[in-house]
Amino acid sequence: MKLKLTTLLMLSLVWAGFAQTNQTITTNGGVPVGDNQNSKTVGEYGPVLLEDIYLVEKLAAFDRERIPERVVHPRGAGASGYFEATKDMSEYTRAVLFSEVGKKTDLAVRFSTVIHGKGSPETARDPRGFAVKFYTEEGNYDIVGNNLPIFFIRDAIKFPDMVHSLKPSPVTNKQDPNRFFDFFSNVPESTHMLTRLYTDLGIPKGYQYMNGSSVHGYKWINKEGKVTYVKYSWVSKQGEKNLTVEEAQEQQGKDWQHATVSLRKDITDKNYPQWDLYVQMIAPEDIHSFDFWPLDATKDWPADQIEKIKIGTMTLNQNPVNYFEQVESIAFSPGALIPGVEPSEDKLLQGRLFSYFDTQRHRLGPNFLQLEVNKPLEEPNNYNSDSWISSGNKRFENPDVNYQPSSKASLKEDPQYKQAETTLTNVTITQKKISKTNDFAQAGDFYRSLSKKQKDNLIKNLKGDLGQVTDKNIQKKMITHFYLADRDFGMRIAKELGFSQKDFMH
């Protein structure tokens, strides 16, 4: 009796044979690691703990792998301009830039490609970084995201491994689909991101023609301390425009720096690019009411379930005068938050809070915030002192006091800026995957939303890379993931790669 293709695809995951090693993974100090897939958290959905020494060591080592270019997002272009609020959101957050209609806030933006190196062509298939630094009167606030609303993984502990698989091989120095599909075939949560990336969204026509997303959810806090979960989306007023593989190849033959050139030219010609900023909100009591975990970075927040509300518009009207000082030296972090915004329990975000600041200290030095492009509007007041290019405590009336508490100290805390309290009861410190993974549903929903032409391009683009994988078991696992997202999706990929039903029978 013939088994259904669904069953055969599922069984192929079990039947696939992969070489295993008996060696145990360890820390740099030689200590055995019990779990290399999940960070330590307070309960299943709680925040990540700083006591996860292995996580910190792994991220810190990863942040220092390449100098001087960024480990990720090395190729980029930037500009500056302003944000104008169009809706008063003070009911939900005390963040000053969203406090009144018409309020303008200066900002700087850096767009980038995530994986490929500093000199790589801007025609490569790659997620695009979309990072915005707001210079507010209460400090600098960064919204650091991508052009796609989701990501490959949900836990920061996997980030170094993911990037290693996508970077060139340490043996051949060539980016190799055999390596990154080997990784993704064992990470089913990546199915949604891969489905989006292999559409034409993977090659934007130009930076001004792509949308943006914070990817993560954050917490907004109002003056009464009430919490609301939020996610940001940038919508290009120029329209979302992308390149097919054929158009990208043609463009690369003409000018592979086209995105940087195009953005600069539009600003020079006073065709100032603009994006509307939208926010989606979830009340804490509703956070568990979806068939997915909203603080899972592999999940989008569907607009038909969670309304998108326009709150302002960004305009870019100034090109950099010195690229190194204004674009290469700009330092972003999702941990650059201001009163009214706090991090959520998102496990990928929690790791990024450490990793981004850490990599900037490595790349630019311990006082990177004293570089002009990174300075806040108001000069910082604290007792950090004596490191490289530090302004230290010499500006204080009594420079002998660089500590607190002190009867002679001139600085004090302001209780109104204390972070909101979070009550945690009946929780256990754990290290495991969340139970509400739902890895395939949104990938299937996205696939079914595509036009026939978009589906055709997706299949063609995936075949181009997945077809280079020599291990048939890896191809089968990827086909299974796509099939679980949508039957037509998986069967079309299987057919394009030359698989038939008997190939899933042993």
Q: Which residues are annotated as a binding site for heme?
A: 356
Is-catalytic flag, 362? no
Active-site residue identified among 73, 192, 362, 481: 73
Contact between residue 115 and residue 167 where contact means Cβ atoms under 8 Å apart: yes
Residue 455 φ/ψ, nearest 5 degrees: -65, -45
Using left for φ > 0, alpha for ψ between -120 and 50, and beta otherwise, residue 40 falls in: beta
Answer whether the bond into residue 405 is a cis peptide, omega within 30°.
Answer: yes
Answer whether the bond into residue 68 is a cis peptide, omega within 30°.
Answer: yes
CA distances from 67 to 264, 269, 456 (A): 27, 35, 40
Query: Which two three-digit tokens encode residue 367?
Result: 């006082």
Residue identified by tokens 């801007």 is 122
Query: Which two three-digit tokens encode residue 240?
Result: 């979302």
Tell me the C-alpha distance between 394 and 92, whole Å.
39
Tell me the C-alpha distance between 69 and 358, whole Å.
14
Q: Which residues are annotated as a binding site?
A: 356
DSSP 265-329: HHHHTT---EEEEEEEEE-GGGTTSSSS-TT-TT----TTTS--EEEEEEEEEE--SSHIIIIIS
- The β-bridge partners of 310 are 278
Query: Which residues does 269 contact at the CB level (< 8 Å), separation at least 6?
Result: none
Contact between residue 442 and residue 192 where contact means Cβ atoms under 8 Å apart: yes
- Chain centre distance of CA 179: 21
Is-catalytic flag, 38? no
Q: Report the length, in residues, of the chain.
A: 506
Active-site residue identified among 38, 140, 146, 374: 146
Q: Catalytic residues, which ones?
A: 73, 146
